[in-house]
Structure 1
Amino acid sequence: MKAVTWQGKRDVRVEEVPDPTIQEPTDAVIRITSTGLCGSDLHLYEVLTPFMTPGDILGHEPMGIVEEVGPEVRNLRPGDRVVVPFQISCGRCFMCSEGLQTQCETTQVTGEHMGAALFGYTRLYGAVPGAQAEYLRVPQAQYGPIKVPEGPADDRFVYLSDVLPTAWQAVAYADVPQGGAVAVLGLGPIGEMACRIALARGAGRVIGVDLVPERLERARLRGVETYDLRDFDDEKALVAAIHDVTHGRGPDAVIDAVGTEAHGSHVARFVQQAAASMPRALSGPLAERFSVDRLTALHTAIDLVRRGGTLSLSGVYGGAADPLPMLTLFDKQLQIRMGQANVRRWAGAIMPYLTDADPLGVDDFATHRVPLADAPHAYDMFQHKQDGAIKILMTP
């Protein structure tokens, strides 16, 4: 089959690889009909290269048709249409029963001291072959895949794999009071969808911050109050402007949908780029002990949120040696919630929004749809924010 493989920093290729097969009784094999390109994939493309191996198959946002199931998969049969969550979880362990599927005790990558295995996301998360491919082996298929109805186009449901539950969890963790104010830093796919969900769930004021004109315009058209980071001399000026319109206190919650590659952290960017350019024998151990994030967005969130408010982090962070303003966090009595989205925990609550009325606007959420063969161009376009690329779906 054809699959998108990682070959090095900023180097992805579509190659012929072996077809997946049933390896365990709880496996299924899915024929992919749509697969997303996620902002998290760009971290692999750019800064998390020390944890990648040439030939790794990328991608973790799939939906498709069941082709084959193992003998212990009794909830699926060939021909079923499914969305596959990006994490692999069993549904039976203590963590899954607590709604923490990203901590699944059956698939935890204990050798790396990490949580549940993820599709297409570095050796830290199990080096499981990813979903930007024609076919996908799905472990723990007795629990993970979500059956969806026939009929509507893939766009109606494909975002259940990652975008929708990640944005939903970001809003749920933000704990925005009814009629309250929330600011969202970063209006990429997750940030923009978080804005839509916050409005749908009763937030009185949703403020979005970005510096890409197309992202700002899309959010504004959905009722978000937008702030262009380029209009301010620094983050302090941005914080002051938003405080001015939130009773001088700041919003009740702030969602950081940016993560490790935030603009403005020049020293951390240099360290990231240097590590990514080293030979893998050196860069891996260095990154595991001394990696740092670009923390501009997180520091802005801490300054922006009101005292007693909540920070919800959905952007990916991977630093092992990040300095944090613990005095400010403690003094402001902030709550911080974070983590990979627990897809199956939120899927039932999200499904009623995927109706014909389409209140979240999923049908036209993608800005680009390209064949899998165009994946290298899609990665480059998305990385450089060209041609208004905000969300890209690929079709094998």
Structure 2
Amino acid sequence: MRAVVFDEYGEPAQVRDVPDPRPADHGVVVRVEATGLCRSDWHGWQGHDPDITLPHVPGHELAGVVEAVGPRVGTWRPGDRVTVPFVCACGTCASCARGDQQVCERQTQPGFTHWGSFAQYVALDHADVNLVAVPQDMSFATAASLGCRFATAFRAVVQQGRATAGEWVAVHGCGGVGLSAVMIAAASGARVVAVDVSAQALALARKFGAAECVDATGTPDTAAAIRELTGGGVQVSLDALGSPATCAASVDCLRRRGRHVQVGLLPSPDGTTPVPMARVIALELELLGSHGMAAHTYPPMLELVGSGVLRPDLLVTSTIPLDAAPDALAAMGTVPGAGVTVIEPWS
């Protein structure tokens, strides 16, 4: 198969021929019809993920068709249209038994723990636990955008952030995750403040329901701007980018007993990020993480997509062939994101 491969962190990736994957006894091989280009892939290419072994094929947001099935798989057959959360759970650990597959103790992640979906085929583990059926009327590009960014944003806003109608929600960073969060929060009846450095991203945020926008390039204190716009701060704030500045601003813009949700990865060299803890104590704030969404919790999200309340298809702003993926991956470190770029490996 053809795949995007990098041999050294931060060095240019290449498209080349590599061996086709084979399914584990409990897994499947999926023919990749679409795969999203995500900032997490850029972090992996930069060497920020300890699970990656070189050489490596990135990619973790995907949709396609089951090509081969391991002998212990009971639910899925070749030809099935599927997507998958970026966290593939084992199904048997204590966390999985509680229904918390998104924090599985023995999780695998395509594009991180093993070769991913910037390829024509990808192997996925524990298929009966992790695969999600893609409706016939849903495009593969739309389905691919669900697996990481949209599903992560859905859980971050609805389940972790517990955003409700009438509340203020701030979203820091309007790439794929952030724009998904804007759309989901607005659909939940919340009033959304979107923050970004890109005029294009903020225009999309308004299109998807943001009531207010803050241009971070001309606003030295975004948290203060948000508190002023909202009359004292927001009930829920998401750092959808992942930087010390956006994390601190997300906490700092909350009103009393507000909820901060960390979604974006924080590539601090020592794994730590300064947080205004005095404000956390004084205002009794909640600090929450959000790490994807388990496959068994997809149905409510898919129902809202099927009814047209949520439109993840509108987030897909660019579709590229596999040969363009290496340059697009490298550009994520310098070019502000706006919407979701989808790679089609067979085009």
| TM-score over 0.5 (shorter chain) | yes
Taking the TM superposition and a 5 Å limit, the aligned residue runs for 1:379-394 are 379-385=329-335, 390-394=339-343
String of CA shifts for 1:271-328, please: whole Å, max 9, x gaps.
Answer: xxxxxxxxxxxxxxxxxxxxxxxx1111111211112110011111354344433323
What is aligned with 2:119?
133
Taking the TM superposition and a 5 Å limit, the aligned residue runs for 1:155-166 are 155-166=141-152
Aligned-pair CA distance for 1:6: 2.1
Task: Supply the distance in 1 between the matched residues of 2:102 and 2:46 (Cα, whole angstroms).
Answer: 24
Give yes or no for the alignment of 1:252 onto 2:203. no
Q: 2:300 aligns with which of 349, 355, 364?
A: 349
Give yes or no for the alignment of 1:176 onto 2:163. yes
Letter in 1 for 2:77: R
Contact map agreement 2:36 2:343 (CA 8 A) in 1? yes
Contact map agreement 2:85 2:295 (CA 8 A) in 1? yes
TM-score, normalised to structure 2, is 0.92
Q: 1:228 aligns with which of 193, 215, 218?
A: 215
Task: Supply the distance in 1 between the matched residues of 2:233 and 2:338 (Cα, whole angstroms).
Answer: 31
Greater Cα shift, 372-381 or 209-218 = 372-381
Q: Give the secondary structure class of the aligned counterpart of 2:193.
A: strand
Taking the TM superposition and a 5 Å limit, the aligned residue runs for 1:103-252 are 103-105=103-105, 108=106, 116-121=107-112, 127-172=113-158, 173-203=160-190, 205-224=191-210, 225-232=212-219, 234-235=220-221, 238-247=222-231, 249-252=232-235
What is aligned with 1:124?
none
The CA RMSD over aligned residues, in Å, is 2.0
Q: Give the secondary structure class of the aligned counterpart of 2:15.
A: strand
Contact map agreement 2:179 2:339 (CA 8 A) in 1? no
Letter in 2 for 1:168: F
TM-score, normalised to structure 1, is 0.81
What is aligned with 1:330?
281
Identity %: 32
Higher-Rg structure is 1
Distance 1:389 1:326, change over 3 A: closer
Letter in 2 for 1:392: T
In the alignment, structure 1 segments of 5+ residues that lack a partner are 109-115, 122-126, 263-294
Q: Give the secondary structure class of the aligned counterpart of 2:156.
A: helix
Letter in 1 for 2:178: G
Taking the TM superposition and a 5 Å limit, the aligned residue runs for 1:25-40 are 25-40=25-40
Task: Supply the distance in 2 between the matched residues of 1:94 and 1:49 (Cα, whole angstroms).
Answer: 24
Contact map agreement 2:254 2:260 (CA 8 A) in 1? yes
Task: Supply the distance in 1 between the matched residues of 2:334 and 2:272 (Cα, whole angstroms).
Answer: 28
What is aligned with 2:71?
71
Q: Give the secondary structure class of the aligned counterpart of 2:205.
A: helix
Q: Give the secondary structure class of the aligned counterpart of 1:197.
A: helix
Aligned-pair CA distance for 1:383: 3.2
